Structure 1
């Protein structure tokens, strides 16, 4: 029975980005000036932006449709706060996800068509 549950879980996770951590590389093709990390779960997400930690709920409507609620964010300031605010603002507008072949990249696309490109990292931030 345990093997059956394991196989069912593997088959299901193939349709969505795996529960791995991702590091933000760019927004709209522009390299991100700080470090930001994202972890996706089945119904929630969490991460670390340059100044603050954040988390929120997500909804998966299909393998490609992903909607992220506005995140809850801790309230610390740092020199990269403006870049963080841009990132978190774009993150809350995400409507689509795509993981190209190989699974090393995650592309989240906003309703306006802005692409947030992440690379897979091992472990958490």
Structure 2
């Protein structure tokens, strides 16, 4: 009886691990871009992202144009390299986050598909401008 309970517990554990995406891996927006807000505040940080098809777009507050956002888009053909956006402000590549936990993970590589069509992040200085 003990073996039966143990076997059932292991099966349930494995099913839960698979369904909750424990081994998931996501493509992520960089936390900040290269546009410096100030020495004390650092670079502009991610405000929100969108995901459509196989393109993720990351939006950062613009220092040059207050009240607007800089868009940095990434797509998979070149290992999630920058596909549009200013190369002097945007990171050249999106990042990978394991387990798809942070709020800046628009694209699940395991599915593969968008985790959602958009997401608001609002990190630190991302809403200042």
Shared fold (TM-score, shorter chain, > 0.5):
no
Larger Rg: 2
Instruction: Name the TM-score, length of structure 2 as normaliser.
Output: 0.36
Higher relative contact order (CA 8 A, sep 6+): 2
Instruction: Name the TM-score, length of structure 1 as normaliser.
Output: 0.36
